Amino acid sequence: MPDNKISQLSRSIAGKVALVTGSASGMGRATAYLFADEGAKVAVVDRNAEGVEETVKTIQDAGKDARGWILDLTKASDIPRVIEEVVAEMGGLDILVNNAGIDASARIQSKRYEEVWERCFEINLNALHRTIRAALPHLQKSGEGRIVNIASTEGVGGSAFASPYTAAKHGVIGLTRALAVELGTQGVTVNCICPGAIRTGLTEVIPEEHKDKFARRRVPLKRYGLAEEIAHGVFTFVVPGASYINGATLMVDGGFSIQNNGSSVMPDQ
């Protein structure tokens, strides 16, 4: 075996401090659980107080380390305060996962379009740069700072009636790439996950028959993904052994984003 530093890079995040926004449910909660299982100290951050309490309790009951903070990301002045509290109580900050977001749709002609656009950008994009700016001094101090932004397959495509959401998610990918270049010189990596159709609270409202029909037609793996599968994608970016992955966009979508719409048509036998 090669005897060098690179070959010995670890896949352990034990002892690292990780802050995950939107971790009261869904993909954020799954990420918090996985990080805690891997030995990280997890800051569970969300506006849903009940969900935060439940996530923290589950982790602590398993003998792992987690603490919770209630944060509404639309209140910009609260973001630095929460970051500083996390650092003070947990002893630093090594990993930031910007997972919190909302889904939104509106026709371009809609009277409420401006409202939807502004709220979508406020939560899905503006909150990311504010959280990164507040966390950055601590991530730099870590020496192995990791930022993972959660975008969407909408960030590499587009759907009718979803232009506010689509534009914001394109912005997340752009922000990721620009900051990867800017912060890479400072020892902080910035990467992005693009989930496809995932079973979360947001998709619970979709009837199962509709989900099955969509998956059969549009996803090569013929199913919706699980929140835990997104969490493992995030984990890949934050381990010490991922130190040379920077500015990447990882599609976790079962092949949805690469399949041509007509590719499911079978040839004549």
Could you give the C-alpha distances from 65 to 28, 88, 111, 131, 197, in angstroms and in order?
16, 15, 47, 22, 30
Whether 165 is a known active-site residue: answer yes
CA distance 223 to 154: 18
The label of the residue with tokens 């891997």 reads 38
Beta bridge partners of 147: 96, 190
Among 82, 49, 25, 59, CA closest to 231? 25
CA distance 133 to 197: 30
The active-site residue out of 33, 113, 165, 244 is: 165
CA distance 48 to 234: 22
- What are 30's two structure tokens? 């799954």
CA distance 28 to 150: 10
Catalytic residues: 165
